[in-house]
């Protein structure tokens, strides 16, 4: 018989009730994990297919840059509202409504004829998909036995990695064989299947105590995070603090976020449990997840940048390389889960960060402009193992410190760290590679001077290579164009090398944070047989 057990402590809490026998728990787990997959996949696909989407609505580069921003800003804005709705109405109702809404919006988005309409649809889609990830961990913690938590977290990490790295292949295949519209339409069956799994997999749980809607907290907190995210997303394009828009977004976001935190500290019914939010190990969790999102960009951004700019690969060909990062995750996640159950989560995370650092250094010290997909394969297989271990270990370590009633707060922190850390990482990496490419191009250009005998010899050689098929009279001009392309390719290669070195250094910093962490507590009382008790930190 279902019972409603009130949970103590500040902040939003969730009811814990026994599931009726009609529910199928593994379907519920599948559904919430599908939500994680869909949310990450959709944002990444929009990024890869941005040129085709811009062309469809007649948008230029500057206007089209807001297409992906609109969606992710909405995901950030809805994060706090999602955890409140999960506590007030139950994860089942919220996720079913969000999945159906997302399916309808994805179906209609490709029919947007103008940029304002497309931006509105993207924002609405972000509001719907933004509910998925914050409620995933709360479902795992509140609806599955503790002995299966490690597997749930490992599959959660698998979803993030898999969706991020297969998106290039899917986008390339859609554009090559069908239409860019399938970038959105592929979400329709996935979201509908998710809603069906939710109906059968999560039991209806009557809620007798519903937390009041703190409108100020929801608007101030969500709005502050969304404005800061928008500033970070547009900063590289607008030249950061030289832009009044970036200044305005950052300042307004900081004021709203400060007002939210002050309000949360003073209200008797806070939206978030601030003791959990600022207590150990949550700040370091936020930092580590941000570092992890940055390391993932070494594959999701740097490799496509190199293959596209230097080798001229299309999205489908780039996707074939990234696929080999995604495919091993299917096996690695099970190994990571087994290790989490039998050893210290800090050790699993540390091994992951070490693998990532080694993989980045392998690329940095061997990359040349003639590299193709196969040359990236050994390092990226190692990085695939590292990313899965590191993300699973970091998230599981945080869970060991939680009480079940803090699951929603942890879900909000994880979603914020995932989006904000990814955006900070993207801004950092795009700015770093742009600046380093300019520096490398300038240094290389100093050695390419008109009148230099070696330059003249190279120009003639390049021109002679095409005289059999092109007008011989333009040989020197063609040679100059080829030489310019070679300089650009060398500069881009150097920028990518610098990017991998930077990721390796930052990963080493993350490793130090993991190593100097205190041991996790035993875990929830019901999971006592699973975790080895620790009375003191290991020497």
pLDDT score at 248: 92
Question: Matching CATH topology for 18-211 and 280-461+473-527?
Answer: yes
Task: State how far the Cα of 521 lies from the Cα of 333, in Å rounded to an integer.
Answer: 23
Please tell me whether residue 22 adopts helix, strand or coil conformation: coil
pLDDT at position 259: 92
Indicate the CATH number of 18-211 among 3.20.20.100, 1.20.1250.20, 3.40.50.150, 1.20.140.10: 1.20.1250.20
313 alpha-carbon distance from chain centroid = 23
Angle at which helix 132-143 crosses helix 66-89, to 10 degrees, equals: 30
Token duo for residue 224:
């502050």
3-class DSSP state for residue 340?
Answer: helix
Longest Cα–Cα distance in the chain: 90
Residue 104: its pLDDT value, please? 94
- pLDDT single digits (tens) 353-385: 999 999 999 999 988 888 887 788 888 888 888
Question: At 508, is the secondary structure helix, strand, or coil?
Answer: helix
* Pick among 1.20.1250.20, 2.170.120.20, 3.40.50.1950, 3.40.920.10: CATH of 280-461+473-527: 1.20.1250.20
Query: How large is the C-alpha radius of gyration of the chain?
Result: 25
Could you give the CA distance from residue 528 to residue 539 in angstroms, rounded to a whole number?
A: 23
8 Å CB contact between 338 and 411: no
Domains of the chain, by residue range, sit at 18-211, 213-268, 280-461+473-527
Which structure tokens are listed for 530?
A: 């699973």
CA distance 484 to 297: 28
Distance of CA 304 to the CA centre of its chain: 16
pLDDT (0 to 100) of residue 256: 94
CB contact at 8 A, 348 and 392 = yes
Q: What is the rounded distance in angstroms from the CA atom of residue 329 to the CA atom of residue 388?
A: 7
Q: Is the dihedral of CA 55, 60, 63, 68 positive or negative?
A: positive
SS3 538: coil
**Which has the closest alpha carbon to 367: 449, 310, 317?**
310
Q: Could you give the CA distance from residue 227 to residue 250 in angstroms, rounded to a whole number?
A: 7
Smallest CA-to-CA distance from 181 within 277, 120, 112 is with 112
CA proximity to 20, closest of 92, 84, 94, 87: 92
Cβ atoms of residues 492 and 309 within 8 Å: yes
pLDDT reported for residue 534: 39
- Cβ atoms of 144 and 202 closer than 8 Å: no
What are the tokens at 10?
Answer: 């500040």
Q: What does the angle CA 171 – CA 175 – CA 179 come to, to the nearest 5 degrees?
A: 110
Task: Name the pTM for this structure.
Answer: 0.77
Distance CA 78, CA 135 (A): 12
In the block, tokens 């030289």 appear at 242
SS (H, E, C) 381-415: HHHHHHHHHHHHHHHHHHHCCCCHHHHHHHHHHHH
Contact 73, 226 (CB under 8 A): yes
Tokens representing 49 are 């297919």
User: 86, 135 in Cβ contact below 8 A?
Assistant: yes
Residue 182: name the closest of 190, 170, 174 by CA: 174
Rounded distance, CA 66 to CA 174, Å? 22
Give bridge partners of residue 64 from the DSSP assignment: none
Low-confidence ranges of the chain (pLDDT < 70): 1-23, 25, 43-49, 159-165, 168, 172, 207-208, 297-299, 315-316, 319-321, 324-326, 404-405, 447-484, 520-539
Q: What is the pLDDT of residue 124?
A: 93
Q: How far apart are CA 465 and CA 460, in angstroms?
A: 9
Dist CA 152 CA 150 (whole Å)? 5
Residue 131 contacts by C-beta under 8 Å, 6 or more apart in sequence? 35, 78, 82, 85, 94, 95, 98
Quick one: CA torsion of 100, 105, 110, 115, rounded to 10 degrees? Answer: -170
The CA distance from 425 to 150, in Å, is 27
Q: What is the dihedral of CA 79, 81, 86, 88, to 10 degrees?
A: 160
Q: What residues have CB less than 8 Å from 414, skipping those under 6 apart?
A: 133, 134, 137, 285, 289, 395
Alpha helices in 109-214 (DSSP H): 115-129, 132-143, 149-177, 182-185, 187-201
């Amino acid at each position: 018989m279902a019972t409603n057990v009130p949970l103590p402590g500040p902040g939003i809490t969730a009811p814990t009730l026994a599931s009726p026998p009609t529910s199928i728990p593994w379907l519920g787990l599948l559904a919430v994990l599908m939500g994680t997959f869909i949310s990450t996949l959709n944002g990444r696909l929009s990024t890869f297919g941005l040129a085709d989407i811009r062309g469809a609505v007649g948008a230029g580069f500057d206007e089209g840059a807001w297409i992906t921003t609109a969606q992710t800003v909405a995901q950030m804005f809805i994060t706090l509202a999602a955890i409140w709705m999960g506590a007030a109405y139950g994860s089942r109702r919220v996720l079913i409504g969000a999945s159906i809404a997302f399916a309808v919006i994805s179906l209609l988005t490709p029919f947007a004829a103008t940029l304002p309409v497309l931006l509105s649809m993207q924002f609405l889609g972000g509001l719907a998909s933004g509910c998925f990830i914050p409620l995933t961990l709360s479902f795992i913690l509140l609806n599955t036995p503790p002995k299966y938590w490690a597997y749930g977290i490992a599959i959660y990490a698998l979803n993030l990695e898999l969706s991020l790295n297969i998106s290039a292949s899917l986008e390339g295949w859609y554009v090559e064989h069908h239409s860019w519209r399938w970038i959105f339409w592929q979400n329709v069956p996935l979201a509908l299947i998710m809603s069906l799994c939710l109906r059968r997999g999560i039991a209806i749980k009557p809620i007798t105590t519903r937390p009041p809607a703190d409108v100020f907290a929801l608007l101030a907190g969500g709005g502050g995070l969304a404005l800061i995210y928008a500033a970070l997303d547009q900063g590289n394009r607008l030249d950061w603090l030289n832009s009044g828009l970036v200044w305005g977004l950052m300042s307004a976001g900081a004021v709203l976020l400060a007002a939210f935190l002050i309000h949360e500290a003073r209200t008797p019914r806070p939206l978030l449990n601030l003791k959990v939010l600022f207590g150990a190990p949550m700040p370091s969790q936020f930092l580590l997840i941000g570092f992890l999102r940055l390391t993932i960009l070494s594959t999701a951004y740097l490799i496509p940048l190199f293959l596209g700019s230097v080798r001229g690969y299309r999205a489908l060909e780039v996707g074939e390389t990234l696929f080999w990062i995604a495919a091993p995750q299917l096996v690695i996640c099970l190994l990571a889960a087994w290790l989490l159950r039998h050893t210290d989560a800090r050790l699993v995370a540390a091994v992951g960060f070490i693998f990532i650092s080694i993989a980045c250094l392998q690329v940095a010290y061997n990359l040349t402009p003639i590299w193709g997909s196969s040359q990236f394969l050994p390092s990226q297989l190692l990085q695939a193992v590292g990313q899965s271990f590191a993300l699973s270990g970091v998230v599981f370590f945080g869970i060991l410190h939680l009480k079940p009633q803090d699951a929603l707060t942890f879900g909000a922190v994880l979603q914020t760290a995932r989006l904000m850390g990814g955006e900070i990482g993207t801004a950092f990496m795009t700015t770093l590679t742009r600046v380093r490419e300019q520096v490398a191009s300038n240094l290389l250009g100093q050695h390419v001077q008109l009148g230099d005998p070696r330059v003249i010899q190279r120009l003639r050689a390049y021109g002679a290579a095409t005289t059999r098929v092109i007008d011989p009279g333009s040989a020197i001009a063609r040679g100059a164009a080829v030489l310019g392309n070679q300089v650009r390719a060398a500069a881009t290669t150097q920028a990518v090398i610098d990017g991998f070195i930077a990721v390796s250094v930052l990963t080493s910093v993350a490793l130090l944070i993991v190593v100097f962490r205190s041991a996790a507590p035993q875990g929830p009382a019901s999971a006592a047989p699973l975790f080895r008790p620790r009375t003191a930190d290991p020497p």
